[in-house]
Copies of this chain bind each other. A is one copy, B any other.
Amino acid sequence: MTREPRWLDEEEQQTWLAFLGVTRRLDEALDRQLQRDAGMPHAYYMILVMLSAAPGRARRMTELAAATHSSPSRMSHAVTRLEAAGWVRRERCPSDRRGSIAVLTDAGFAVLAAAAPGHVEDVRANLFDQLTCEQVRQFGEICRVLLTHLDPHDDADPATPTAAAATR
């Protein structure tokens, strides 16, 4: 019943700590940049990105939550905040009166357009520019393998509008 756990060996531990360090620092860097240049955290920026890529720059709350992998509650709070900032507007859904639709405003699009170049630059500088072509390829493959296991339902289909234009 209580058998000896498969502890990490020295090298695995080091890799694990390095990974934790990378993700934390990267998150911090992105949050700082976006907070400074766009006045919002990375998670909110991603909401605007997803909206900007959607037809009519509008999406149902549930869809939006799925696209950014956040809970309905979180999405609701987030959109409330984005609405207060004037970057998103809520509309009632005509086909299902329970539903509500988040629409990206012109102001929201503008703040996105203003912040995007700096954001991409940050992603490049901290990630892609540091790796060789071969490493970028390996890294992509590894992330896809891990994601498939962590979330079997997420197809990561490049054809979906959600996957497109994430950092554009």
Give the interface of A toward B (CB within 8 A). 5-8, 10-27, 29, 46, 69, 116-117, 120-121, 123-124, 126-128, 130-131, 135-136, 138-147, 149-151, 154, 156, 158, 163-168
Identify 10 residue pairs between A and B in the complex whose beta-carbon atoms are under 8 Å apart, listed by A's number. Answer: A8-B124, A11-B140, A13-B166, A16-B123, A16-B127, A17-B163, A18-B144, A29-B150, A135-B142, A138-B139
Cβ-defined contact, B120 with A21, below 8 A: no
How many Å from the CB of A45 to the closest CB on chain B?
Answer: 11
How many Å from the CB of A47 to the closest CB on chain B?
Answer: 13
Instruction: Kindly state the separation between the CA atoms of A126 and B149 in the bound complex, as whole angstroms.
Output: 7
How many Å from the CB of A168 to the closest CB on chain B?
Answer: 6
**Interface core residue of A13, A18, A139 (most chain B CB under 10 Å):** A18
CB-nearest residue of chain B to A11: B140
Instruction: Kindly state the separation between the CA atoms of A143 and B25 in the bound complex, as whole angstroms.
Output: 12
Instruction: Kindly state the separation between the CA atoms of A138 and B8 in the bound complex, as whole angstroms.
Output: 17
Contacts of A16 in B (CB 8 A): 123, 127, 166-167
How many Å from the CB of A112 to the closest CB on chain B?
Answer: 13
Contacts A23-B23, A166-B17 given; does A117 touch B5 at CB 8 Å: yes
Contacts of A140 in B (CB 8 A): 11, 14-15, 18
Cβ-defined contact, B151 with A142, below 8 A: no
Cβ-defined contact, A146 with B158, below 8 A: no
Contacts A12-B136, A140-B14 given; does A6 touch B124 at CB 8 Å: yes
